[in-house]
Structure 1
Amino acid sequence: MKKDMLSEMQKNEIMKLIMGYMDEELDVDMGNMQAMLMLDFILKEIGPYIYKAGVDDAARFIGDKLEDLYELTI
């Protein structure tokens, strides 16, 4: 996944979410560096799966719309 996919503001917001989650759910006090490493891991390792699911969903949607359009022309 592209390193610059998220703005600094988005990264900071997500890092806060990660730190809050870790604190509330796992009672782990996570600092900024740890949260950034976690975010980088998620983007690098998990992001492609989420991206592919989105692309597949969009392709299905467009395919359905093209079928609808084709049916209108018959």
Structure 2
Amino acid sequence: MSEIELSHQDRAALGRQVQKFVREELDLDIGNMDAEQLVEFLLKTAGNHCYNLGLQDAQTLVERKAEDISSELSALEKSVTGN
């Protein structure tokens, strides 16, 4: 798997969210570049973990849906009587 990459728009949007959080929660002002560097750091340190959690959730959903399909297929079976 390659590194998690964000579009310029997503990186900038996340940077603004980081700036807002830092300002409101920590009472600090940071610039756009600092915020985007923090986004990059978080992607490198926590991004893979979050990605893996998403994969686990997807796997659970696929397994649940496969069980549903199996049950539906079983319900379609017709009885076979011997002569």
Give the TM-score normalised by the residue count of structure 2.
Answer: 0.80
Give every structure 1 segment of 4 or more consecutive aligned residues whose post-TM-superposition deviation is greater than 4 Å.
Answer: none
2:38 maps to 1:38: yes
Seq. identity, %: 30
Q: How many residues align?
A: 73
2:12 maps to 1:2: no
What are the equivalent positions in structure 2 for 1:21-32 lying under 5 Å apart?
21-32=21-32
Q: Which has the larger radius of gyration?
A: 2
* Partner SS, residue 53 of structure 1: helix
- 5+ unaligned residues in a row in structure 2: which ranges? 75-83
Write out per-residue CA displacement over residues 8-35 of structure 1, whole angstroms, 9 at most, x where no aligned residue: 1111111011011101110111112211
- 5+ unaligned residues in a row in structure 1: which ranges? none
CA RMSD of aligned residues (A): 1.3
Give the TM-score normalised by the residue count of structure 1.
Answer: 0.88
* Partner SS, residue 67 of structure 2: helix
CA drift at 1:36: 1.6
More helix by share: 1
